[in-house]
Amino acid sequence: MFKATTEQEWLPAVVPGCVHTDLHRNGKIADPFNKTNEHDLQWIDKIDWEYKTTFDLTEELRSEQHIELVFDGLDTYADVSLNGQHILSADNMFRTWQVEIGSLVQEKGNELHIRFRSPIQEDLPKLKKLGYNLPASNDQSELGGLGEDKVSVFARKAPYHYGWDWGPRFVTSGIWREARIVAWSDVRVNDVFVKQEQVTAEAAQLSIEIEVESAHDGEGVVKVSDGSGAEWTVAAALKQGVNRVTVPAFIEQPKLWWSRGQGEQHLYTFLAEFVPAGSKDAAASKSVRTGLRSIRLVREKDDVGASFYFELNGVPIFAKGANHIPNDSFVTEVTKERYRHEIASAAESGMNMLRIWGGGIYEQSAFYELCDEYGILVWQDFMFACSMYPWDEAFLESVKLEAEENVKRLRNHPSIALWCGNNEIDSAWQHFEEEGGWGWKKWYNAEQREAIWAGYESIFHRILPEAVSAFSHGIDYWPSSPMIDLTGDKGQHAHPLSTEGDIHYWGVWHAVEPFENYNKKVGRFMSEYGFQSFPEYDTVRTFADESDMELESKVMLAHQKNGNGNRLIKEYMQLYFSVPKDFPSFLYMSQVQQGEAMKMAIEAHRRRMPYCMGSLYWQMNDCWPVASWSGMDYYGKWKAMQYYAKNSFAELLLSFERTDDGELRVYAVTDRLQPQEGKLTLSLYSFGGELLRSEEKAVRAEGGRSSLVYAAAEQEWLAGRDAGSVVLVAELAQNGALACRSEYYFARPKDLALAPASIRVTEVEGSGGTRFLIESDSLAKQVWLQAEEEGLFSDNFFDVVPGVRKEVEFRRREAGEAFGSPARAGNVTARSMIDFLAVK
């Protein structure tokens, strides 16, 4: 049950949950995501809320020596009492809270009460005491009724709850992770860490660190097994309290864990048991699942700067993926099925890495378990983003405990590849460059600036790296993304032309640079870049009425959190695309535009392998239905960009590049370690399907890199023809079968002489309605297939050149999977860009 502390009526509550979702379930507030309802719900975070329940304890539980109440997550400022006695005060959303309650509990009718203090009222006095705002660019304080008062930085709480440039402001309170009773006697195993000292294909040398808590002194053995028959044992003399026992283990020819596309994701389950002296049975045990692998961030000086790439089991990995944000503004609404859809979508898109961005949460265990299973590496930020933070003793101690706990919680996951201190703060503040950064420094006097920076260094250069070093063997720490190196001078701060470190490139989008600059601004590891689009019409209709279907309506503006977003989408569309005929067509065109931008960026990065070894676009997903940089909308529907990314992240890729002097180049890019050979065919077609010219040649591409396989002057192919009326198709065949294909256009989309196209969708005979041949009598650009059933096609938003075969498969979305088994699509409709234009 829950209620506002000022109210009398108690209402049913769901745990895990939060005040907002409980209010909505009880019909007390309208759907927070609908229309402009967000603006009307800002009162919720200004008042205190309370939850209560009663519970009984079985005789079995009451007979145990220790009875503990454990909260895996309280959001955020909470006072807990049991049977009228205060037992706990919490102040950090990201920590676990536990307390011994054996002396307080009774057999029947135990009353548990939690009062959640308003995070706003709690933190306003801290701001007043400090005397000035700390930078927090995305804190939507004005929407929250706070004017210029930015209080988000004082709470160890998900930063995006206070708003972001893609998300709403819902400052939640509640029991956001599981609450439970834990009872035990004599001895228990609290933690098992499989410390991987050295792992190769020949052998794995492990130190398995086990934390055993005992109610009294005692002798025995700690035994570890891996499920394959191997077993390791050491004698253990336990003292009352917490004991740490290390069990050495050695596995010959281990089955290694690999990221997606490089090998199997083998997982071992290690069982640790404590067996008391004189007994054959274990008194306590705990199991953990992990994969055996070695991983490191390689930063080595070279002729042009320094490398920045991940080496997995001795193999350099080109990181292909995206930045992940929380899947919902109300994180307790995210089911394992929704996580699975995201991770499976990443895998289906050819990705091998996701970056958990620092403005959200340390994700639920299910997220990391799925990454382990699908082979998706995780770049893990600590939860700090785009802000400067306080540095008082209490805050720093809270950060220290948060860091230690979360590093320990996640350290057995083989998917964890890196811990990163924060998102964009080093480059935003740029302490060593007077005119650099986002202009924050000018707000403060010299004394304030030094204090703020000293606080920054305490967190990101001392507390966090110490936690990673102490509790997560073998995983590297990177202080801030982006950054060049921790030099202590202006050479530390990243910029778009850095030849070291990682880069966030936002010249395209924020600075309105042309798409073509993606080809020029390529760093060693591109950890952020992106372009916005709207979700599809059906998604927009979940939050807007037909009368709201215009770009500047109040509802549409409320679901566009980037102040310049709509203007930028339109401005770029005028540069590259023709005018859409209506608002639904604008939604489609925005997605195509986003896809084209991301294709150019991703392929520019991959063509520069091994100079560039990472491409993580912004962003994978959404936390509510909104116009944003995501490749999948809030409901998991793939935008055009997600299909583009799937093709551009393919294991084997043909990619075109036009140089400034007019040379047309074709690169074969592959993640496969073995050289790739095949027959390259280049075919020039008119938009009506006439084959105008063709060339063939045998090509060889080096493994694990980009290889130039063809070059010629662009004008040789045009030969006086109209640039807007022809398309060049490149195909690579291996062993007589098509391995990959790519198209090149000699003009921007708005300058193409498109004609109305008659698209034919024919069911492939014998496929049972799961496979379709797509044909057209004229060039059909960005063909959008829609099925009667809910699911995804193997490809979508593709071009159909007359005479060039295009076949797709439909898979139904089932049980949270991105793609289930092939399934009947039902009726399939096909439209192309010409159908969405104002003038055809």
Give per-residue pLDDT as tens, 319-341.
999 999 999 999 999 999 999 99
8 Å CB contact between 312 and 292: no
How many other β-carbons are positioned within 10 Å of the β-carbon of residue 827? 10
Give per-residue pLDDT as tens, 26-66.
999 999 999 999 999 999 999 999 999 999 999 999 999 99
Q: How confident is the model at residue 622 (pLDDT cuts 50, 70, 90)?
A: very high
> Residue 580: what pLDDT?
95
8 Å CB contact between 469 and 412: no
821 strand-pairing partners: none
8 Å CB contact between 220 and 278: no
Q: How confident is the model at residue 113 (pLDDT cuts 50, 70, 90)?
A: very high
How many other β-carbons are positioned within 10 Å of the β-carbon of residue 86? 11
Q: How far apart are CA 451 and CA 131, in angstroms?
A: 13
Give per-residue pLDDT as tens, 714-744.
999 999 999 999 999 999 999 999 999 999 9
Buried/exposed code over 323-356 (b: 16+ C-beta within 10 A; e: otherwise): bbbbbbbbbbebeeebbbbbbbbbbbbbbbbbbb
8 Å CB contact between 713 and 662: yes
**Model confidence at 817: pLDDT above 70:** no
Q: How far apart are CA 480 and CA 460, in angstroms?
A: 8
Residue 377 contacts by C-beta under 8 Å, 6 or more apart in sequence?
259, 295, 310, 312, 317, 319, 321, 352, 353, 354, 371, 415, 417
Identify the sign of the CA torsion 391, 393, 399, 403.
positive
Show the beta-strand stretches assigned E in 476-608: 476-478, 503-504, 526-528
Give per-residue pLDDT as tens, 72-107.
999 999 999 999 999 999 999 999 999 999 999 999
> Residue 818: what pLDDT?
60
> Residue 606: what pLDDT?
98
Q: Of 183, 188, 179, 171, nearest to 53 (Cα)?
A: 179
Can you give the pTM of this predicted structure?
0.96
Domains within the chain, CATH numbers bracketed: 2-180 (2.60.120.260), 187-290 (2.60.40.10), 315-648 (3.20.20.80), 651-752 (2.60.40.10), 754-840 (2.60.40.10)
**Model confidence at 227: pLDDT above 90:** no
Phi-psi region of 27 (alpha: psi -120 to 50; beta: other; left: phi over 0): left
Give per-residue pLDDT as tens, 547-583.
999 999 999 999 999 999 999 999 999 999 999 999 9
Print the SS3 string covering 444-513: CCHHHHHHHHHHHHHHHHHHHHHHHHHHCCCCEEECCECECCCCCCHHHCCCCCCCCCEEECCCCCCCCC
- Find the radius of gyration of the CA atoms of the chain: 28
Average pLDDT over the chain reads 96
Task: Give SS3 for 86.
Answer: strand
> Residue 3: what pLDDT?
98
Q: What is the DSSP pairing of strand 319-324 with strand 353-356?
A: parallel
Q: How far apart are CA 726 and CA 751, in angstroms?
A: 11
Please confirm whether the linkage preceding 610 is cis (ω < 30° from 0): yes
Q: How confident is the model at residue 789 (pLDDT cuts 50, 70, 90)?
A: confident
Amino acid at 704: G
Phi-psi region of 163 (alpha: psi -120 to 50; beta: other; left: phi over 0): left
8 Å CB contact between 374 and 366: no
- The pLDDT of 636-657, averaged and rounded, is 97
- The pLDDT of 780-799, averaged and rounded, is 94
DSSP H or E stretch at residue 343: helix 336-348
Q: Of 75, 114, 72, nearest to 93 (Cα)?
A: 75
Amino acid at 209: E
Q: What is the token pair recorded at 41?
A: 């719900």
